[in-house]
Amino acid sequence: MCKSIRILVSLFSVFLIGLAAASPASAEKGGRALAFSPDGGVTTMGASTCNWPTWGPVCLNVNGGGLFVASATGSTTAGAWICNKEFHVWGTYENGVNWNRYGVADCGVGRVWVDFGLNANMRDGSSICADMKEYGTGGWHANGYACINIHR
């Protein structure tokens, strides 16, 4: 029995370390987080952030450089089988037009995600945000969301 408990504690520790490594910044409920490059400058290159609503983390990863965003990924993690997670990612193009993307993740163990190809410039100072909910239920923004600010 003790061996089983030690194994579970070890697996849970690895899970928590993975969450911490995947999320260098956190956002308060409905808040925003900046991602910083190694030299201290604000960047969107490989930036990631997570928010921990009451029912589980919602994370956002943005890939690109400067105002150009190649893609954004909404994800969540859990120590078990995950299904029926719908993601909403939104932001503002450089010309001021707001955009929204929606997608449902495949089922999986440990982490599920939806990749959204953007390949566009975003407005300087705007944010890209991600939210998650159970597919087909409830409204968006009920439990907080994760955001990354976009800067030159």
Q: Which domain holds residue 135?
A: 2-149
pLDDT at 29: 30
Structure-derived torsion over alpha carbons of residues 94, 48, 85, 110, reported in degrees to the nearest 10: 160
How many domains in the chain?
Answer: 1
Q: What is the pLDDT of residues 22-77, one digit of tens each?
A: 332 222 233 333 333 333 333 344 668 888 766 678 899 999 998 999 999 999 98
Helix, strand, coil % (nearest 5) of the chain? 15, 50, 35
